[in-house]
Amino acid sequence: MVKKELTNRKLFDEFYSNKLSDGKEVDLQGRVRTNRNNGSIGFIEFNDGTFFKNIQLVYENNEYSKIRYGSTIEVKGNIKLTPNNKQPFEITVKEINLLNDCAEDYPLQKKRHSFEFLREIAHLRSRANTFYAVFRVRNVLTYAIHKYFQERNFVYVHTPLITSNDAEGAGQVFKVVADMKKPDDFFKANASLTVSGQLHVEAFALTYRDVYTFGPAFRAEQSNTTRHASEFWMIEPEMAFCDLEDNMNVIESFLKYIIKYVLDNAKEEMNFFDTMIEKGVIKKLEHVIHSEFKRMTYTEAIEILKKAKENGHHFEFNDIHWGMDLQSEHERYLTEEVIKGPLFLIDYPKEIKAFYMKQNADGKTVAACDLLVPYVGELIGGSQREEKYDVLLYKMQEIGNDKGLEWYLDLRKYGGCIHSGFGLGFDRLLMYITGISNIRDVQPYPRTPGSLKF
Ligand code: 4AD
Ligand code: MG
């Protein structure tokens, strides 16, 4: 047996609960983050992967000064409480066993690397502080999401990744083809990777009332931006007997809950982002938790943008008119300059939104709600769904999306009801929480046009 029970995390937990005793014997396995030596005494910054903070190992045996940065070691020694130092305790080394040396050409050197360079070594970058913090927060955020829904009795549904429908009707799918076979041969249908689990999860909402799916989505968008990835994770709750306003209330409560959970449960990582990545990010998030999300109709937004233009604000896309699809610069202006916080935009023109959205009484708009946040833009897209069979059928026929989705129409025929839901872009939320400005740096192995190294 190799695995040891003790970890950095357990030592820090003991320390914070005042249970760590001076002199305690320890036996740990982990990696050397730095190793320096002043002749008579040496210091290793040690991390075993279980906690953000390193532990300092202090040794006298000069042999250990040869242990290279990046190597894995086993260390035996004793805890020394150091209340007057930067680190609250250290380990006085009795013995270090080198488990595996780290070759000299280790690409992750001690100096600061650019994020671009680190993307080229995605298999190693999780060892660099920023990514070490990002991917742990990714995990904490995932847990918070499940916790929120499970505590409220939502049923988690695994929706398929291979599908025959383009849920959004936007024609941005990746085709799935079995090797050596002609397209269509394998499934006897047009198969693609899912762009959204919404249609599948709607069916389950009509059984279990409150449900969610949380998994990967794939989009063949040619947009090479800092906010688009070809593969990303999405949370899609769907709620029966729930209208647009209820939907927004859930979004607001959900976001506040999961942000608070991360602030409370990833303190070291969040402090790191606050000092190294986005100054004030914690304050920004605390403000979100304590403020009421503003709501505004698309029509009002257009009026504000027109005024901004009249007053001399320059937009790249400067032809502001009702019916236009908002560009990210418009969304950012509204949330960053006008509201200075999260903003729901509701009631969009039906022409620029997906076919399944509920038609409003005005005949021109649909009951959509996008949540916009500063610097990220659109974080959530949601809507009340069209529950009227005839209206939905008409809209599907209009865009030629009715074949193969008869089952989706059935949901309106066999005891349907008012229902709503939304899709939260998980990676974009992680960008917002960490202050990291490129989606490629919050995903373990990002997939974007022209990039599939790992
Ligand atoms: O607005 P979207 O396209 O909505 C849907 O897919 C609906 N079916 C959701 C629903 O009502 N159940 O996508 C939802 C969110 C966006 O707001 C954005 O945050 C994220 O998914 N998203 C992307 N994130 C990263 N890369 C991309 N290419 C993304 N496309 C959408
Ligand atoms: Mg959207």
Q: Mind listing the pLDDT tens digit for each residue in 159-194?
A: 999 999 888 877 799 999 888 767 668 898 889 999
Q: Supply the residue whose CA is at minimum distance from atom 9 of ligand 1.
A: 423
The DSSP line for 145-183 is HHHHHHHTTPEE----SEES--TT-SS-PPB---TTS-T
Q: How many residues does the chain have?
A: 454
Cβ-count burial of 93 within 10 angstroms (0-12 exposed, 13-18 middle, 19+ buried)?
buried
Decide the pairing of beta strands 42-47 and 55-59: antiparallel
pLDDT of residue 329: 93
> What's the CA-to-centroid distance between 220 and ligand 1, angstroms?
13
Residues 6+ apart with CB under 8 A from 396: 355, 402, 405, 409
Closest CA to 378 of 332, 339, 346, 422: 332
Ligand 1 pocket test target in 428, 429, 430, 440 with most atoms within 8 Å of CB: 428
Three-class SS state of 27 = strand
- Closest ligand 1 atom to residue 234 Cα is 21
Q: Which parts of the chain register pLDDT below 50?
A: none
Cα–Cα dist 107/70, whole Å:
10
Q: How far apart are CA 53 and CA 76, in angstroms?
A: 19
| Of 289, 284, 315, 285, the residue nearest 302 (C-alpha) | 315
Q: Which residues pair with 404 in a beta bridge?
A: none
Q: Say if residue 28 is exposed, middle or buried (CB neighbours under 10 Å; 0-12, 13-18, 19+).
A: buried
CA distances from 212 to 34, 241, 375, 425 (A): 44, 15, 27, 14
Alpha-carbon span 378 to 391, nearest angstrom = 28
| Residues at CB less than 6 angstroms from ligand 1 | 167-168, 196, 198, 219, 221, 228-229, 232, 234, 236, 378-383, 421-423, 425, 427-428, 439
Nearest to 375 by CA among 241, 281, 452: 281
Residue 53 CA from chain centroid, whole number: 23
Please tell me the distance between residue 109's alpha carbon and the centre of ligand 2 in angstroms: 40
Which residue owns the Cα nearest ligand 1 atom 2?
381
Relative to the CA of 429, which ligand 1 atom is closest? 19
- Probe residue for ligand 1, chosen from 202, 222, 232 as the CB with the greatest number of ligand atoms within 8 Å: 232
434-454 confidence digits (pLDDT tens): 999 999 999 999 999 999 999
Is residue 89 helix, strand or coil?
strand
